[in-house]
């Protein structure tokens, strides 16, 4: 099977059931941004500081793949398979956030993203996650999307922020405080 099909040359792509949509459709934008986020999580997973978090980051990527699949699901096609994140996945993220926060000083101000690449990658992934969440919410205004996807993305952005702080702690990366 060849990687190129030429079927997208007309500016369309297909949902999991085969129905074709414009590549500019809200649904395509939503799952495309989730796909971008999956790659950012993969980059974070490759950072040596995250070696002990590798399995959890793979879990996150799996839940994001499920999110993308759920967004690509064609509910009008009975042959299309609906796959979504696990119902408890937002709670799984919350438990990890709580574990990491127990090692951190409470915040008294905003943090300017930056410093070492390991922490910066987490901040960039957090921003992409927020963009994915906004894209899914725009789609949800047009057509109902699985609530677990919205909750998972919202919680994941919190996780990525706290992960950036833990990574900063573990790599001796200065957290530059911002205050007015």
All structural domains of the chain with their residue ranges: 22-178
Q: What is the mean pLDDT of residues 55-65?
A: 98
Report how far residue 167's alpha carbon sits from residue 113's, in angstroms, rounded to the nearest whole number.
Answer: 12
Q: pLDDT value at position 84?
A: 93
Which among 38, 62, 53, 63 has a CA at the least distance from the CA of 166? 53
pLDDT, tens digit (0-9, with 9 covering 90-100), for 25-53: 898 899 999 999 999 999 999 999 999 99
CATH number of 22-178: 1.20.1200.10
Report how far residue 16's alpha carbon sits from residue 136's, in angstroms, rounded to the nearest whole number.
Answer: 17
Average per-residue pLDDT for the chain: 92
Q: pLDDT value at position 111?
A: 92
pLDDT, tens digit (0-9, with 9 covering 90-100), for 66-108: 999 999 887 777 777 789 999 999 999 999 999 999 999 999 8
């Amino acid at each position: 099977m060849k990687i190129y099909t030429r079927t997208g040359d007309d500016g369309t792509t297909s949902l999991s059931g085969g129905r074709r949509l414009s590549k500019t459709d809200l649904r395509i934008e939503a799952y495309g941004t989730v796909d971008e986020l999956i790659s950012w999580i993969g980059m974070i997973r490759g950072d040596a500081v995250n070696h002990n978090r590798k399995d959890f980051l793979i879990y996150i990527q799996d839940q994001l793949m499920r999110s993308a699949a759920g967004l690509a699901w064609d509910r009008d096609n009975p042959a299309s398979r609906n796959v979504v994140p696990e119902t408890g996945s937002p709670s799984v993220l919350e438990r990890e956030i709580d574990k990491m926060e127990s090692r951190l000083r409470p915040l008294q101000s905003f943090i300017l993203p930056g410093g070492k690449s390991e922490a910066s990658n987490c901040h960039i992934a957090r921003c992409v996650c927020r963009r994915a969440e906004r894209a899914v919410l725009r789609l949800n205004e047009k057509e109902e999307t699985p609530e677990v996807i919205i909750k998972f993305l919202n919680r994941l952005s919190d996780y990525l922020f706290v992960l950036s702080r833990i990574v900063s702690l573990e790599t001796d990366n200065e957290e530059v405080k911002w205050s007015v």
